[in-house]
Amino acid sequence: MTEELRRRVRDFLAAHPFTPRCDSWAGSYDLDFSRELGKAGLLAVSWPERLGGGGGTAVDRLVVTEELLRAGAPLAAHWVGERQIGPTLLRHGSPELQEEFCPPLARAECTFALGMSEPDAGSDLASLRTSAVRDGDGWRITGRKIWTSGAHRASHLYVLARTSREADRHDGLTEFVVALDSPGITVTPILDLRGEHHFNEVVLDEVAVPGRWAIGRVGEGWRQVVGQLAFERGGPERFLSTYPLLSAVLAAGLVDDTARRGLRALAARLQILRAWVLETAQVLDAGGSPVVPAATSKYLGHEFELSVIDWARPLMPRATPAVRALYDQALAASPASGIRGGAAPVMLSMIARDN
Ligand SMILES: Cc1cc2nc3c(=O)[nH]c(=O)nc-3n(C[C@H](O)[C@H](O)[C@H](O)COP(=O)(O)OP(=O)(O)OC[C@H]3O[C@@H](n4cnc5c(N)ncnc54)[C@H](O)[C@@H]3O)c2cc1C
């Protein structure tokens, strides 16, 4: 299955031209490309067939995503929905919620943004203030989410909100699906340092959400979201964002003797990271929540990506504009890669506590 899948992805990429980009899972958005991937059966390969998936495993998904990321293909449109919302629904959602959202997610007809962080709740997510109160059979959600990547393009928002005040603030949180075209939602752009628009602030003012759109058990959101972070942090995007730069430098013949020595070390570290995420995927397939292994690959992946940029820097004076553009993309994304999905020092303290 694995080699056949790899070949299918390569054939797909050859038949669907695009401009390779570094950080393409976060920064390269092409909804048509995502939908073509869905039609080719290359999204949601690990989900059950009855819910629009491929009936494969997390290891199969790893193979597909590795190929797509290495090529620098535009993946941002479907990434959040396919990487973590679908799997969260499969683990915790009611059968009704799974049937409503998984098939359109697998076709990239429904796309998600992540509404976790708030102005005073990032690393310390449990201090979030967004609240959901009962309203008949449904809920009304009020609050302010920030750094919400892609909310200006997505159809739906995942929201973590407080549904009750408990002695332990990790209790009383609940996960929701919210339609981004609901009355009461305001999405305001936040431009990044380059003036590009990926982030948003999303204000929710008594937004009505049907009761069936609560994910899993009301008040159990913290336990669920901790498991979800394994999907968010444990994949190959944490170290392959700069791979298009690495491969373009090689293809352009820019590697001198010094760079060749550095390349050997990078190749070895890449193999270690690949083995690590393979093991993480195997734990997911066994029904586990590899939260700490995922934090480890996120931390080490970021360090690896910084090393790729450092390795490529001295070669840039001889680079073509196309290779230089990949370097600029990698460099511009590098400060954020240590923060998004969890800041590097926080990953380190999670790993240390586990030991
Ligand atoms: C490119 C990018 C995309 C993002 N996309 C999204 C998104 O789509 N949805 C979403 O919900 N969020 C998103 N975020 C937000 C991201 O999850 C938060 O920025 C991150 O969790 C850190 O939270 P914070 O910004 O509030 O920083 P803080 O939590 O205030 O932390 C600031 C710094 O303090 C240090 N620190 C904090 N706590 C500790 C600790 N316990 N131990 C050691 N050091 C600590 C860290 O160095 C950290 O960098 C995105 C962020 C970036 C950069």
Q: Which pLDDT score is estimated for 1?
A: 63
Task: Check 66, 82, 175, 232 and give the catalytic one.
Answer: 232
Q: Which pLDDT score is estimated for 3?
A: 87
Count of CB atoms within 10 A of residue 220's CB?
17
- 173-209 pLDDT, tens digit each: 999 999 999 999 999 999 988 888 999 999 999 999 9
Provide the CB-side half-sphere exposure for 152 (13 A, CA). 15
Taking alpha carbons only, the member of 203, 226, 182 closest to residue 84 is 226
Whole-number Å distance, alpha carbon 23 to ligand 1 midpoint, is: 18
2 has a pLDDT exceeding 90: no
232 is a catalytic site residue:
yes
Whole-number Å distance, alpha carbon 339 to ligand 1 midpoint, is: 5
Segment 143-157 shows an average pLDDT of 98
- 217-247 pLDDT, tens digit each: 999 999 999 988 999 999 999 999 999 999 9
Q: Which pLDDT score is estimated for 241?
A: 98
82 has a pLDDT exceeding 80: yes
Taking alpha carbons only, the member of 152, 185, 161, 150 closest to residue 80 is 150
φ, ψ dihedrals at 68, nearest 5°: -65, -40
Whole-number Å distance, alpha carbon 263 to ligand 1 midpoint, is: 31
Q: Which pLDDT score is estimated for 243?
A: 98
Q: Which pLDDT score is estimated for 355?
A: 79
Ligand 1 pocket, residues with Cβ under 6 angstroms: 113-117, 122-123, 147-149, 336, 339-340, 342-343, 345-346, 349
**Whole-number mean pLDDT of the chain?**
96
What burial letters (b/e) apply to 107-129, b meaning 16+ CB within 10 Å?
Answer: bbbbbbbbbbbbeebbeebbebe
Whether residue 198 contacts residue 150, with contact meaning beta carbons closer than 8 Å, is answered with yes
Q: What is the pTM of this model?
A: 0.96
Tell me the pLDDT band of 71, cut-offs 50, 70 and 90: very high
Of 85, 340, 353, the one to substitute when testing ligand 1's pocket (max ligand atoms within 8 A of C-beta) is 340
